[in-house]
Amino acid sequence: MESLEQRSMLAGNVVHNEYFPNDVNGDGMLNGLDLEIMVSEMKAARSASQSGSGASLEGEQSLFLDVNNDGRLTNEDLISTVNALSLEGEAAPSNFKINYDVEIQTTSSTTGEGGTGTIKVGDTFTLNIYVEDLSTVSDVDNSPNLTGILQAFVDIRMYEGGTTNLDTSSFIIADPTTDIQFGPTFDDVAASVPSNVTPWGARVPGTDNQFVEDGVLKWIGGFDTGAVPTSGPILLASITFQAVKETSASGIDFTIDVRPYELGSDISQEEVAFNQTLRDGQMVSDDQNLNATLLVGANTGGQTGEVVNFDGGSVRLVIEEADPINGANFDYYEVEQNFGDDDTADLPPVVEIGGVKYYVLDVLANDLDGAGNSVDYFTIDPSTLTQPDQGTVQIYTRSDINNDEITPTGITSSQVILYEVPAGVGDVTTSFSYSIIDDPMATNPIVEDTAEVVIFIEAIEFAPEASDIPLVIIPSDPNGPVSDNVLNYVTDADTPNSELIVEFFDENGDTLEASDLQGTFTPVDDGNGGFTGEFTYESDVPGLFERVLYRVTDPEGQSAEAYIEFETLLDSLITGVVYFDPNNNGIVDDNAGTTGIPELRIGGVLIQLVDGSGNPVMNPTTNEPYEVRTNANGEYSFAGIDAGTYGVVIVDPPFTRKGITSSGGFTANGSQINDIVIGSGDAAKATGLNFGYKGRDYNYIGYGDTVASSVDDSIVLAFSKSNGVATLEWYMVDQGWERLYQIQQDYAYLNLNNYAAQIAFEVNTSNEDLNALVVQGFSRSTSGYTVIAETADGIIIRINGSGGTVMTNLAAVDAAFADL
């Protein structure tokens, strides 16, 4: 290396280790030496930059400093190596020790660990957190009793009146991004780890908010890029708060949350210095020793040591009610986006003026004149009223037109402040100030005329939630394009669908153009320049997968996004029937109008689709094993199957005798038809894959009974019996049941003690696209209801009569669905 002209520290391919990125020195190992080299190089680079000369990494290069391969040497490279070591490192011996201290600093005093500080409502205070290396060993440079802190993170729990009641309602952090500051030697790379998460938000809003926990300051700390041995406490971070309401006499304890590090077989018992949850929400596994504090020199086996020996203390703060001054006094209010629930009594009153809701802030209520008397009859100087960062305020007086809105609130002040909550904002703090005008005739003039008002906008509740909508399209579907409504997949506890705004975008969130999709996506306009949420989509391109992003927004500005996913399947089909074949000729004879032996279809039989190796095929719509049950006509089908080799397997209906399987030219093997080839070119349709049965087992045929029935209009139900429970296995229908589509077997019930039954029939209505579920009850007293055969394993029941006769309320079903 040689000093050249000033430039950024660039890195070519020679600077990135393609095979082992964290191996900085190329020795084939990841250990503390790699980290020490990185720290040294970064310090050298910074020194060169400060002196005005830059060091480049050009030419001969033996170090691999560009860990993340972004062409630069930055903190990200250092942190990557630190994280790798922290996951692989071993616990350091017990003589390596870290002490965390806390203190509270006000404008007039400093309270150290173990002490109690006191402030007034409205005052600000700073919580300082220190970290100190108390290790009784020598570091790599043989400096006595010192190592060097690589990273330090800590949680702080805030208890009111003891160690069980977490409470942060008495103070706030106005802005976590500015009110949390690091010590001079520590650096935060918020994009790399969750850090500085408070009960009021995170330093990286929207990213780390998932870690917010009430009553706990989390991940307070950072990385010491210098990592130099230092004696005495080192300032880790300073956090500025504002007191907004008094505490109890016992105050609030700010307690360092460090616990013993115990890595055992039961991961639920594992505790580390600050948490056991990674950024992606996953728990630390039992082979990852993730730790909050790392030291240079605390190495075992050449690896950076993870400190498991901690001290941590506590400091107490009591917030007292502010002594009222002669003039304007500090005020604090909590408000809600939805203007409060009925059981929320501590919110300011709400009025509606001109169709807009406002919170009424009676800021004059606690203001005093020079003699300590109420000044609620004084006025606010409009020229001194500032606007908060969030929302707007305005003065409202009783001399204004329509001032009757204030009277029901019980407020007697001559003027109030109306606060309008901003849309889509929550879990934030904002403030404004005002001045009161002194009465020139007053004998007791005001001493202080200006005060601050702090408003905490509570977290928004009932935000909409959206779910992805996976839809499968089969090009030959006679029903045409697929249609749906995104509002069917949106939940919002307090907003009607009619008030939700619906928008559609391409899958990247940009404006949706017709050219973005190969299929045709058509949203339905609402007539007001927006969309209703309904849409249609049509595609005839097999194998196509497309997505549309939809967004719903409620009146408060809260929004949710999800995808509509369209998958166009191959126009393929495998189909057949399951039937009784008394003459055992392998031909499905027509049942209707015959005078010979009718060959009835068997409904409710399970058919499974398998691949060429006999493994289950997944249904593209449900992502579960693709299996179907035959309908009342004994028909089954598998549609939209990708190109490949398949088989269909029947679960033989019990109480029957096997007949001929018609393979349609494919390979028949017992209860399975194999080698069904679906081509990748033209859509393939394999039909006539039929499974025949000679009839019922002889034990399940009653006197005068046939494969069909003794009458034309009837239905036969076959139940199996196991542990006193009857299960509908299959059924067959004769004439008079043309409108029966299928029986919902999961809702079929038979009482084996008295043979009472309840059957759920799914029937076609006058609307061809809509079926109705008709539930009918039967017993032995029902006309035509007969138990024709029974054994220890099963029971066969026949119900004589047509569907229209048996389902007595079918006419009512027709009427109910006629207009749909």
pLDDT value of position 332: 93
Distance CA 83, CA 415 (A): 58
Average pLDDT over residues 584-608: 77
Residue pair 67/80 in contact by the 8 Å Cβ criterion: yes
- 52 CB-near residues (< 8 Å, 6+ apart): 6
Distance CA 574, CA 686 (A): 5
Distance CA 151, CA 164 (A): 29
Distance CA 787, CA 717 (A): 10
CA-to-CA dists, residue 102 to 96, 224, 247, 292, 797, angstroms: 21, 19, 20, 17, 80
> Poorest-confidence range of 162-171, 441-450, 710-719?
441-450
Side chain identity, residue 543: G
Which H or E run includes 40?
helix 32-51
Grade residue 577 by pLDDT with cuts at 50, 70 and 90.
very high
Q: Assign domain 13-88 to a CATH class.
A: mainly alpha
Residue pair 313/328 in contact by the 8 Å Cβ criterion: no
- Which spans in 763-820 are helix H? 803-806, 810-817
The long-range contacts involving 494-500, CB below 8 angstroms and separated by at least 24 positions, are: 494/338, 494/461, 494/462, 495/462, 495/464, 495/554, 495/555, 497/533, 499/554, 499/555, 500/464, 500/533, 500/552, 500/553, 500/554
> Poorest-confidence range of 76-90, 652-666, 733-747?
76-90
Distance CA 96, CA 89 (A): 14
- Name the most confidently modeled range: 50-54, 254-258, 703-707: 254-258
Residue 56 has pLDDT above 60, yes or no: no
Structure tokens at 166: 């977490």
Q: Between 645 and 81, whose confidence is greater? A: 645
Helix (H, G, I), strand (E, B) or coil at 742: strand
pLDDT value of position 659: 92
Map out the domains of the chain as residue ranges: 13-88, 98-319, 325-457, 465-562, 573-696, 701-817
Q: Are strands 201-202 and 197-198 parallel, antiparallel or unpaired?
A: antiparallel
Grade residue 572 by pLDDT with cuts at 50, 70 and 90.
confident
Mutual angle of helices 75-88 and 32-51, in 10-degree steps: 160
| Other CB atoms within 10 Å distance of the CB of residue 8 | 12
> Poorest-confidence range of 12-21, 75-84, 693-702?
12-21
CA-to-CA dists, residue 297 to 91, 142, 148, 288, 609, angstroms: 12, 10, 7, 20, 62
Distance CA 274, CA 253 (A): 18
Which string of DSSP letters, residue by residue, matches 537-599? EE---TTEEEEEEEEEE-TTS-EEEEEEEEEEPP--EEEEEEEE-TT-SS-----TT-SS---
Question: Which tens digits make up the pLDDT trace of 95-119?
Answer: 777 888 999 999 899 999 999 999 9
Distance CA 640, CA 638 (A): 7
Distance CA 544, CA 569 (A): 7
DSSP structural state of residue 498: G
The long-range contacts involving 259-262, CB below 8 angstroms and separated by at least 24 positions, are: 259/310, 260/308, 261/91, 261/291, 261/306, 261/308
Average pLDDT over residues 84-92: 52
- 702 CB-near residues (< 8 Å, 6+ apart): 786, 788, 789, 796
pLDDT value of position 632: 93
Average pLDDT over residues 134-143: 58
Question: Which tens digits make up the pLDDT trace of 792-802?
Answer: 999 999 988 88
Which string of DSSP letters, residue by residue, matches 677-695? EEPSSSPPEE---EEEEEE
For the purposes of burial, counting CB atoms within 10 Å of the CB of 759, is it exposed (0-12), middle (13-18) or buried (19 or more)?
buried
pLDDT value of position 306: 60
Q: What is the gyration radius of the CA atoms in the chain, in angstroms?
A: 38
Residue 251 has pLDDT above 80, yes or no: yes
Is 325-457 the same fold as 98-319?
yes
> Poorest-confidence range of 262-266, 722-726, 744-748?
262-266
Structure tokens at 308: 């498991």
pLDDT value of position 707: 58
Residue pair 719/727 in contact by the 8 Å Cβ criterion: yes
Residue-wise over 32-46: b if at least 16 C-beta within 10 A, else e?
bbbbbbbbebbeebe
> Poorest-confidence range of 46-50, 359-363, 384-388, 676-680?
46-50
pLDDT value of position 704: 67
pLDDT value of position 3: 41
- 156 CB-near residues (< 8 Å, 6+ apart): 102, 127, 129, 216, 217, 220, 254, 255, 256, 257
State the chain's mean pLDDT as an integer: 78
pLDDT value of position 91: 56
Q: Assign domain 573-696 to a CATH class.
A: mainly beta
Residue 310 has pLDDT above 90, yes or no: no
The three state secondary structure string of 501-537 is: EEEEEECCCCECCHHHCCCEEEEEECCCCCEEEEEEE
Residue in the structure block whose two tokens are 């069917």: 488
Distance CA 702, CA 719 (A): 15
Grade residue 767 by pLDDT with cuts at 50, 70 and 90.
low
Q: Are strands 501-506 and 116-120 parallel, antiparallel or unpaired?
A: unpaired
DSSP structural state of residue 626: -
For the purposes of burial, counting CB atoms within 10 Å of the CB of 260, is it exposed (0-12), middle (13-18) or buried (19 or more)?
exposed
Q: Are strands 450-457 and 331-335 parallel, antiparallel or unpaired?
A: parallel
Residue pair 283/267 in contact by the 8 Å Cβ criterion: yes
Q: Let me know how long the chain is.
A: 820
Write down the CATH number for the domain with range 98-319. Answer: 2.60.40.680
- Name the most confidently modeled range: 27-31, 132-136, 377-381, 549-553: 549-553
Beta bridge pairs of residue 363: none
> Poorest-confidence range of 175-189, 193-207, 378-392, 454-468?
193-207
Q: Assign domain 325-457 to a CATH class.
A: mainly beta
Question: Which tens digits make up the pLDDT trace of 200-227?
Answer: 877 776 666 667 778 888 878 877 766 5
